[in-house]
Amino acid sequence: MSEATGVRRRGHAARWVYRLVLLGGLILLWRLNAPGHMSVDSILSLHEGHFRVRETWNPAIFPWLLGLADSVVPGAALAMGVSAAILFGTWALMGNLRPRVSWLAVVLALAAIALPQVLIYPAIVWKDVWFAEATIAGFVVLAFALKSPVPALRWGLLVVAAVLLAAAGLLRQNGLILAGAAAVVIAWAGSDRGWRRSILGALGWLGLVAACTLALAVVAQPQGSGKIDVAAGRGLRILQTYDVVGATALSPLPLSHIDRFDAKLDDAIRADAHRVYSPERVDKLDESTVLSKNLWRIPDAVIRAEWLDLIVQHPGLYLRVRAADFQQVFAPPIIDRCLPIHLGADGPPAAMADLKMARRWSNDDQRLYNYVTWFLDTPAYSHATYAGVALLVGLLLLRRRQPADLAMAGLMGGALAFAASFFVISIACDYRYLYLLDMAAVTGALYLGLDPVLSRPKERRRARR
């Protein structure tokens, strides 16, 4: 048997062991977490999907998908299972992106499965988890598209990638940043045919993502197809209010627009802002009876004008507020305050009664929570750690620059850009908001571990001469 044949056989064995490890991880995840963990957001979204109503300002596609799964198997167990299977299945398929598979990938897969973000998070019914999984699947499909020599297959895969990234963008509106990153990858990968042609092709694909997003925005409504959902506008109003109150807490502002609307309300905001504002989360504003009753009766146009004045006339103060908010979500000093995990099932009693669900916190949930505490306050539970991993993996893949490498490097860059966008939009420090960053880094590490040789094929041939 030649040395080359032996290498191929060892690579073939490693590929199958890598897949079996991931299958074992998926089975273990199901065994430990079924029928899934549900928080208030999960229960309310399932309520919307089950009864086909629109009650919250969460992305409409989330309750719509939950409702589809609930119509097949009541509850969220099917949705949780499909969600986890997409992540693990995507990682398993990555093994086909490389001509050989290293045993390092097996070791990295075992290490990844030990992480709570992998062993538990995919079983939490959260839109942030589904967003991360759809995004990762979209980029892996994109990698296969760029690698395929068959035009029809390549275009089919590009359509699938567009649908996945459109769905991801509807689950997290700032997630459309990832579609932009994917378009850059497509343009770069096709640059050998000329930059003009490749850029036009990338823009055409981005137009396809926009069309898919529009179509899903109309169809994916829990109450039935109809006009595009405008619930995201509520989120923007909350962000603007949070910034204005936060800036007033740090340095009392004139609040001239609010003063013209209600001469007493601007004084009330200045009096209470320092007490109730917290960069950890916007919910603390409700601790002021006066503000909770009056902030939301201010017209949107007034709040928007006050917010724009803050940005234009006091940019330094605005950046101070945003920096404090971003620190809490990216590197929270006290992670326990930022909902690092959710186990069991709990939500509004009325919604749970309608769904015929009982509050759940079992001994198994307690054991899982104890397991998570081993990781809290360690680098394994730090977005900063995964940002570093994503940056390193991206740079290493850009050195090799094969088509699939460009797609995976695009995932790293897109995840970093997505995380950076929270400098502008963060209103709470929940760990799940940057879950994509963690999973993108893990995905990149697994991909690099599949074939850690960084030289390109021509370079390797020259080295053997």
pLDDT score of 138 more than 90: yes
Asked whether 39 and 126 are in contact (CB, 8 A), the reply is: yes
Computed over its alpha carbons, how large is the radius of gyration of the chain? 24
Which amino acid type is present at position 359? R
Task: Write down the pLDDT at residue 212.
Answer: 96
Domain spans in the chain, listed from the N-terminal domain onward: 3-226+354-464, 232-330
CA 360-365-368 angle, to 5 degrees, is 160
Which amino acid type is present at position 432? R
Give dist(CA 75, CA 66) in Å, integer.
8
Task: Write down the pLDDT at residue 14.
Answer: 92
Asked whether 67 and 50 are in contact (CB, 8 A), the reply is: yes
Asked whether 49 and 221 are in contact (CB, 8 A), the reply is: no
Tokens of 64: 């719509």
Report the sign of the C-alpha dihedral through residues 7, 9, 12, 14, in that order.
negative
Asked whether 247 and 314 are in contact (CB, 8 A), the reply is: yes
Mean predicted confidence (pLDDT) in 430-447: 97
The 10s digit of each residue's pLDDT in 341-363 is: 999 999 999 999 999 999 999 99
Q: Count other Cβ atoms within 10 Å, centred on residue 329.
A: 24
Mean predicted confidence (pLDDT) in 96-110: 94
pLDDT score of 465 more than 50: no
Confidence of residue 227 (pLDDT cuts 50, 70, 90): low
For 97-140, the DSSP string reads GSSS--HHHHHHHHHHHHSHHHHTGGGB--HHHHHHHHHHHHHH
Give dist(CA 74, CA 63) in Å, integer.
14
- Residue 284 CB burial class (10 angstroms; 0-12, 13-18, ≥19): middle
Give dist(CA 463, CA 465) in Å, integer.
6
The 10s digit of each residue's pLDDT in 245-259 is: 999 999 888 899 998
Asked whether 380 and 115 are in contact (CB, 8 A), the reply is: yes
In degrees rounded to 5, what are phi and psi of residue 345?
Answer: -145, 125
Q: Is the peptide bond before 59 cis (omega within 30 degrees of 0)?
A: no
pLDDT mean across residues, the chain: 91
Confidence of residue 193 (pLDDT cuts 50, 70, 90): confident
Confidence of residue 266 (pLDDT cuts 50, 70, 90): confident
Which amino acid type is present at position 88? F
Task: Write down the pLDDT at residue 426.
Answer: 94
Task: Write down the pLDDT at residue 224.
Answer: 79
Using the 8-state DSSP alphabet, how is residue 376 labeled?
T
Tokens of 33: 């977490």
Task: Write down the pLDDT at residue 454.
Answer: 81
Confidence of residue 294 (pLDDT cuts 50, 70, 90): confident
Asked whether 166 and 150 are in contact (CB, 8 A), the reply is: no
The 10s digit of each residue's pLDDT in 272-285 is: 888 999 999 998 88
The 10s digit of each residue's pLDDT in 12-44 is: 899 999 999 999 999 999 999 999 999 999 999
